Amino acid sequence: MESDKAGVLFVGVFSDGEQTQVLCDTGNGSHLHRLSEDKATMRVCVGSPGRRSSVWKCLRGKNSCDIYFGTRTSFSEFKFSFHESGIYRLARNTSARGDATFPVQSMVKGSTDPRLIDRWTRPEWSEAGTSELVSILIPHEDLIFYPNDGVRWDDVTWIPPAPHGWLSEIQYVRVQPNQGLIALMDLEADCNVGVADGLILPDGSVVVAHWRTSSISPDKQDELAELRTTARADVAPVWDLSPSSGPRAMYWQVSNTGTPVLWDLALTAFPF
């Protein structure tokens, strides 16, 4: 994550009112993605069935530009809500299990909402017409084996895994159409990069899920090892940590632009 920049990922959304397309350009090649107006949900995962990250699910509101985001397996318990009003939040759902199995405390001082975990306001739109939502970081070492993996795979966009000692980053960003090509990510030498999918919102803007691979510094590797150990020690006794159950931990950070950065880490006792 700390290597010198070797390139830039440019992304543009183009619409003529009938067809919306996302163009991805790295300077060494370009790819065009045609989006469907009817698509309301996108699901993205790093790896392949049987050895993978969490499946990350993003869906749009029925009659608004509200956006909802979380993992496929935990969406019924908690999710991110990026509201058209500009209020963004992470909260439990009303059907969520209690603190004994989901021990997350609210980070909002003075909140009386028992479901609220965190709340913030939408970052300002950039001059180029982008607004960041959330980023997911998945180290290669956390792409664990799932014996008899039962995840549905045919509705998922699969991203190829990063090599050993690297990570995959998926960034979700809202992009206004017809603003030209916009620089979204710095790239390092020998990385892989692309656009996974996109959702068209009622106002014509698009939620773009784009990704890159990056190397992990030795210091960050040590920090991640400590995080995995701590996360496993803090798990409630009722949780099944066997590989077949596919337990994972979400470690939260905040970027320098104020948007959430989530580490998708393995919780199994022997992840490698």
pLDDT tens digits, the chain, 272 residues: what are they?
A: 444 557 899 999 999 989 999 999 987 788 899 999 999 999 999 999 989 999 999 999 988 999 999 999 888 888 999 999 999 999 888 644 444 444 455 555 556 677 888 889 998 899 999 999 999 999 999 998 888 887 788 999 999 999 999 999 999 999 999 999 999 988 888 899 999 999 999 999 999 999 999 999 999 999 999 988 888 887 777 777 777 777 788 888 888 888 999 999 988 755 44
Q: How many domains is the chain partitioned into structurally?
A: 1
Question: Is 46 within 8 Å of 141 (Cβ atoms)?
Answer: no
What range defines the domain where residue 233 resides? Answer: 7-266
| 3-state secondary structure at position 74 | coil
pTM: 0.89
Question: Is 214 within 8 Å of 191 (Cβ atoms)?
Answer: yes
Q: How many CB atoms lie within 10 A of CB 82?
A: 24
Q: Determine the Cα–Cα distance for residues 65 and 83; give it in Å rounded to an integer.
A: 7
- Which amino acid is located at 30 in the chain? S
Q: Determine the Cα–Cα distance for residues 216 and 60; give it in Å rounded to an integer.
A: 33
Question: Is 15 within 8 Å of 188 (Cβ atoms)?
Answer: no
Residue 272 placed within a domain: no
Residue 113 placed within a domain: yes
Residue 2 placed within a domain: no
